[in-house]
Homo-oligomer: A and B are copies of this chain.
Amino acid sequence: MNASSNRSPAELARPRRGRPPKTPEQRADGNRRQDLINAAARLFRQKGFDATSTRDIAAAVGMRSGSPFYHFDSKQALLVAVMEDGMQSALRWLESRMSEAQREGANDEQLLQTMVRAHMDVLWGDHRDFIPVMLQEWQVLSAEQRRGIAELKDAYEAHWNPVLARLIAQGRLRAEVTMARLMLFGAMNWTLKWYDPSGRVALDDWTDQLVALVLQQPRDSAPSPAMRQA
C-alpha cells in the first residue's frame, strides 16, 4: 500500500533532488526508449495508430499508463520514432544488398532483382513492423513531422532511379523512371494487404515473378530498336 515501505534505507537517505533513483526495473537504462519504439511498432501495425492506446504500449513493456510520456512528448512522437527507426534500417539494408550485388558484378537485371528482394525483406523480414506502419499511417503526421522522414524516403527511392534508367535505356523497361518506380513500389507494397508469408509463394519466387512481369525479354542478340536509333 505504502510505496515508501519498499525503499531500502540507502534510498530513503538519498536526497530527493536531481535524477530519481533507479529501481531494478528501470536499470535497463537507455533501451527502455527502444523497448517502447519496438512495442509501438508492433501494436501500430497490428491494430493501427488510432486503435492503439498509449496504455497498450506501456503495458506491453511493463510500464504504467503515464510513463511513456517520460520518454516521448506525445503519441505522435512515438510514431515518428517508429518511422525514423524503420527507414534508417531499410536504407542500410538496401545499401548493403546493393553493394554486395555490385561487388559480385551483377548486371542491371540482377541488381533490380536484388533490390526488389531487399525491399520485400524490409516489408516482411525481422523488422517487418516498422515500414508497414510508415506506409499505413503516413497521413497521421503533420507536414513538419513528415519532412524529416521524407529525406530518408527520398534517399531510399534515389537508389532505384539510375538502375531503372539504365534498364529503360536498354529497352528492358517500357516506362518513365518515376512511373516505373511508383508502379514497382505499388506492386511490392500492396503485398502488405494480401501476401501470406506462410503460404505457397516464397519471397524469392514472388520476386522472380515481379521482375519477369515488368522486364521486357531480351531481344535475342540484336540490339533493340531504341538502341539502334540512339
- Give the interface of A toward B (CB within 8 A): 48, 50-51, 135, 138-139, 173-176, 179-180, 182-191, 193-194, 201, 206, 209-210, 212-214, 216-217
Choice from B48, B50, B187 contacting A183 with Cβ under 8 Å: B187
CA distance A214 to B179 in the complex (A): 12
CA distance A50 to B175 in the complex (A): 38
Choice from B50, B188, B201, B217 contacting A50 with Cβ under 8 Å: B50
Choice from B206, B209, B214, B217 contacting A213 with Cβ under 8 Å: B214
Given A213-B214, A217-B216: A190 touches B180 (CB 8 Å cut-off): no
State the number of copies, please: 2
Residues of B within 8 A of A139 (CB): 48
Closest 3 CB pairs of A and B: A186-B190, A50-B50, A186-B187
Choice from B179, B186, B209 contacting A175 with Cβ under 8 Å: B209
Residues of B within 8 A of A138 (CB): 193
CA distance A217 to B191 in the complex (A): 26
Closest chain B residue to A189, Cβ basis: B190
Q: B182–A194 contact, CB under 8 A? A: yes
Q: B135–A174 contact, CB under 8 A? A: no
Residues of B within 8 A of A191 (CB): 182, 186
Q: A182–B175 contact, CB under 8 A? A: no
Q: A173–B213 contact, CB under 8 A? A: yes
Given A48-B50, A50-B50, A214-B213: A185 touches B190 (CB 8 Å cut-off): yes
Q: B175–A212 contact, CB under 8 A? A: yes
Choice from B173, B183, B185, B194 contacting A210 with Cβ under 8 Å: B183
Residues of B within 8 A of A214 (CB): 213-214
Enumerate 29 A-B pairs (CB-CB under 8 Å) in ascending A order.
A48-B139, A50-B50, A135-B193, A138-B193, A174-B212, A174-B213, A174-B217, A175-B209, A175-B212, A176-B209, A179-B201, A179-B206, A180-B213, A182-B187, A182-B190, A182-B191, A183-B190, A183-B210, A183-B213, A184-B187, A186-B186, A186-B187, A186-B188, A186-B190, A187-B187, A187-B190, A189-B190, A214-B214, A216-B216
